[in-house]
Amino acid sequence: MTTIGTPPKEYLLAVEGLTVSFDGFKAVNDLSFYVDENEIRVIIGPNGAGKTTVLDLICGKTKSSAGSIRFREKELTKMSESQIVLAGVGRKFQTPSIYDDLTVFENLEISYPRGRSVLGALTFKRDAAVRERVAEVAEAIFLKDRLHDNAAFLSHGQKQWLEIGMLLIQDPELLMLDEPVAGMSVSERIKTAELLNTIIKNRSVLVIEHDMKFVEDIAHKVTVLHQGKILSEGSMEKVKNDPKVVEVYLGH
Amino acid sequence: MKRAPSFMDLKDLIAVGLLAIILIVVFPALLDGFRLNLVAKYLTYAFVAVGLVLCWGLGGILSLGQGVFFALGGYGMAMYLKLEASSVENTKIQSTPGIPDFMDWNQITELPYFWQPFHSLPLTILLIILIPALFGFVIGSAMFKRRVSGVYFAIITQALAAIATILIIGQQGYTGGVNGITDLRTLHGWDIRTDSAKFILYFVNAILLLCIVGFAMYVRDSKLGRILVAMRDKEDRVRFSGYSVANFQIFVFCLAGVFAAIGGAMFTLNVGFMSPSLVGIVPSIEMVIFTAVGGRLSILGAVYGTLAVNFAKTSLSESFPELWLLGLGGLFIAVVLVFPNGLAGIWRDYVQPHIDRALKLNSKDPTDPAANVAKQAAAASPAE
């Protein structure tokens, strides 16, 4: 159903009829879902369900074959990756994606939303505002003692935090996290949940996660993907008791 | 290693000062006119090497076609000088007086339109900067916007170097062909062939190189320098932090190209000719080797690497000309396998620690075990 004019409700992110096929294989097939302001949405599903591909499509890493992704009335499918970031969408990758050869400070500084053009970067000044914000974020991601160490020397969990910190400093309206606690120890996991609970304030978050305990802790709403399509959607309680979900994903 | 966030910290300042003393005081004092002119020639290659440190070392974009940019600058300057040397009275024995001699030999009777701007010195200088920048922009846009990178980019730039050579040699009526542009005489009326002119040009060249080194350091220490490193490491992360990666790649490729072109123009002035032998695949790869030997992450290393390889080249090919290419190949393999950070890496790992220790030795710190070791070493060594 297509509505012309103003839709009854304004969503932050509206994905409609999204389809992408790789050599005929439809990794995401006619997918539609909507994310509200300040909502935390978790996407779960078995391997190969197309979860990461959905994030790739939203952030512009993969181009869609059909369908639309509207974010604050902007059509993201027609924008470049950096334009999508400037529109307010931030993405954390599954494996920590940080700059090993730069210090923690420099990693965070690069994500500071200023001086993103060539000229801007050439004349960028590390002023008090930048230093304060970096210190603030470093404190939040438990890395304030490591600011001047090269990121290569951080542990896996710390690298994940650093990437979350890089997104935090970027201050996106929609934050997309791909398995933020994968590969973390139990204590790191608890700290990460705590960290995520503080940073998700005043923004919408789209999370892919397998850790059901973690999902239960944070999700407002859960979308279950299976073979590129939505299998079930709703509250954790509803999804958990959906027989289709139990069969393909959660197990008996 | 932590890099200082600010431009030109004390360490950089000392290092640049040392290079300035070597170039401006030591070489002119020790070398005769002939050798000094050779050094001037080597230093023109160092412009290319410094550009490659930014483009390849920091940004991870390996260009095997820097000879093309060297040619754009070198030929630009040569065209200006040639036009000045081809005044009507100098060329009155030609069938068409007032045009360069090689055009006359090729039955060309009118100066081609693209030679016209090179009558003017200010315009020539402007074009020496603008043409390579524009060329870099066109090539860079075509490649980087399409996400061509790594080895594919290197191969395409190498092809460009080959094409440029073929074009220059093939269009001999317009370019002087395989001989290049020779018999250059005066720069705005000033005879550049005399010993005193060569001496002055050496200093102009050296000071210009120091300015380029300073500018390269400014770029390296700016946020742009850190973005280049970040791009080399995780291109996608940079993209998803809101930067247009292609624009940064285009910028650094153009910048390296302009540096190379300035080097080319200085080559023509110091050496007195420009020819396709400085354009093609071999010279372009040689320039990469200079950078690699110096240490591709070190701006000053690139200058020392260029000087070291060229001194070796000159002395080896004076005695064993046929061995040089083998030696160069061997050197490149050695750099890749044994000392990947080049001379700068050797300095940092083996020399710098001794200096640091020696400095610590003077400032009292008896509890530092490293200082004690250094003290013993210093006592044992007669040099201290």
**How far off is chain B from A108, nearest CA to CA, in Å?**
10
- Predicted confidence (pLDDT) per residue in A168-224, tens digit: 999 999 999 998 888 888 888 888 888 888 887 889 999 998 888 888 888 889 999
Closest-approach residue (CA) in chain A for B237: A97
In a domain, B289, yes or no: yes
B306 vs B44: CA distance, rounded Å: 9
CB of B258 within 8 A of CB of B129? Answer: yes
SS3 A185: coil
Hey, is the C-beta of B219 within 8 angstroms of any chain A C-beta? yes
Q: What mean pLDDT comes out for the span B97-106? A: 92
> Of B214, B226, B202, B312, which Cα lies nearest the Cα of B259?
B214
- Predicted confidence (pLDDT) per residue in B176-195, tens digit: 999 999 999 999 999 999 99
* B-contacting residues in A 183-242 (Cβ below 8 Å): none
Same domain, B258 and B355: no
**How far off is chain A from B240, nearest CA to CA, in Å?**
6
Same domain, B237 and B184: yes
In a domain, A7, yes or no: no
The average confidence (pLDDT) of chain B is 90
Q: State the count of interchain CB pairs (< 8 A) between A and B.
A: 84
Same domain, B162 and B180: yes
In a domain, A154, yes or no: yes
Say if residue B293's pLDDT is above 60: yes
Hey, is the C-beta of B9 within 8 angstroms of any chain A C-beta? no
Q: What mean pLDDT comes out for the span B144-150? A: 92
Domain boundary among B325, B340, B355: B340
B72 vs B75: CA distance, rounded Å: 6
In a domain, A8, yes or no: no
- Predicted confidence (pLDDT) per residue in B322-365, tens digit: 888 888 888 889 888 988 899 999 998 898 888 888 888 766 54
B130 vs B162: CA distance, rounded Å: 22
Same domain, B363 and B219: no
Confidence class of residue A4 from pLDDT cuts 50, 70 and 90?
low
Per CB-CB distance under 8 Å, the chain A contacts of B5 are 106, 126
- Phi/psi for A224 (5° steps) reads -100, 120
Say if residue B372's pLDDT is above 50: no
Same domain, B188 and B321: yes
Say if residue B380's pLDDT is above 80: no
Same domain, B221 and B354: no
Confidence class of residue A6 from pLDDT cuts 50, 70 and 90?
low
What percent of chain B clears pLDDT 90, i.e. is strictly above it?
A: 74
Contact B224 A122 (CB under 8 A): yes
In a domain, B4, yes or no: no
In a domain, B214, yes or no: yes
Same domain, B323 and B352: no
Hey, is the C-beta of B241 within 8 angstroms of any chain A C-beta? yes
Q: CATH no. for residue A18? A: 3.40.50.300
Same domain, B155 and B55: yes
In a domain, A64, yes or no: yes
CB of B236 within 8 A of CB of A61? Answer: yes
Q: Is B369 exposed, middle or buried (0-12, 13-18, 19+ CB in 10 A)?
A: exposed
Same domain, B241 and B136: yes
Closest-approach residue (CA) in chain B for A176: B240
In a domain, B1, yes or no: no
Contact A82 B236 (CB under 8 A): no
Angle between helices B245-271 and B121-144 (to 10 degrees): 140
Hey, is the C-beta of B243 within 8 angstroms of any chain A C-beta? yes
Confidence class of residue B374 from pLDDT cuts 50, 70 and 90?
very low
pLDDT recorded at residue B227: 96
Which of B5, B222, B242 is opposite residue A116, by nearest beta carbon?
A: B242
Confidence class of residue A248 from pLDDT cuts 50, 70 and 90?
confident
Same domain, B16 and B160: yes
**Mutate: best of A57, A79, A80, A116, partner B, most B CBs <10 A:** A116
- Predicted confidence (pLDDT) per residue in A124-138, tens digit: 999 999 999 999 999
Hey, is the C-beta of B227 within 8 angstroms of any chain A C-beta? yes
Say if residue B383's pLDDT is above 90: no
Per-residue tokens: B366: 């008896």
**How far off is chain A from B248, nearest CA to CA, in Å?**
6
Structural domain that includes position A77: 13-251
Cβ neighbour number for residue B190 with a 10 Å cutoff:
11
B295 vs A1: CA distance, rounded Å: 62
Q: Count up the domains in chain B and report the number.
A: 2
Q: Count up the domains in chain A and report the number.
A: 1
Q: What is the DSSP letter of B133?
A: H
pLDDT recorded at residue B285: 92
For residue A222, is it left (φ>0), alpha (ψ between -120 and 50) or beta?
beta
What percent of chain A clears pLDDT 70, i.e. is strictly above it?
A: 96
pLDDT recorded at residue B365: 47
Say if residue B377's pLDDT is above 50: no
Q: What mean pLDDT comes out for the span B37-55? A: 97
Hey, is the C-beta of B4 within 8 angstroms of any chain A C-beta? no
Per CB-CB distance under 8 Å, the chain B contacts of A91 are 240
Same domain, B210 and B181: yes
Say if residue A85's pLDDT is above 60: yes
In a domain, B2, yes or no: no
Say if residue B373's pLDDT is above 70: no
Same domain, B243 and B306: yes
Q: List, in sequence order, every beta strand (DSSP E) within chain B.
A: 186-187, 190-191
pLDDT recorded at residue A119: 94
Structural domain that includes position B349: 343-384
Q: What mean pLDDT comes out for the span B90-94? A: 90
